[in-house]
Amino acid sequence: MKKILIAVGLAVAAVSQANAADMMALAKAKNCLACHAVDKKLVGPSYQDVAAKYAGKPGAEATLVNAVLHGVSGVWGPVPMPANPQVTPAEAKELVTWILSMKK
């Protein structure tokens, strides 16, 4: 039984790492990484900071998907986040889900 649990845990970790690599590639392809990084502030906040700010907040996913698609200003200071018409709603949802999973 213990071996099965270890095997399942390793499989979940492998899928999670593959998903993270896929999401990082998507973020790069959609030009998100021009302003954001996983663990440090660039022009915009780090993904980890976004995850921490929105952790457990009702409607966080919808709020962030809307921000990705349509832009937002005043949330993280004076620099606005522009709209991202190159990102589909499905891609925005995937990216936001990934970002919210980064809470510390």
HEC string for 13-46: HHHHHHHHHHHHHHHHHCCHHHCECCCCECCCCC
Residue 92, helix vs strand vs coil: helix
For residue range 56-104, what is the model confidence (pLDDT) as tens digits? 999 999 999 999 999 999 999 999 999 999 999 999 999 999 999 997 6
Are 71 and 83 in contact, with CB atoms under 8 Å apart?
yes
Query: What's residue 103's pLDDT?
Result: 79
- β-bridge mates for residue 36, sequence order: 41
> What is the token pair recorded at 31?
């030009």
User: Is residue 13's pLDDT more than 60?
Assistant: no
- Out of 11-25, 42-56, 90-104, least confident range: 11-25
Query: What's residue 9's pLDDT?
Result: 41
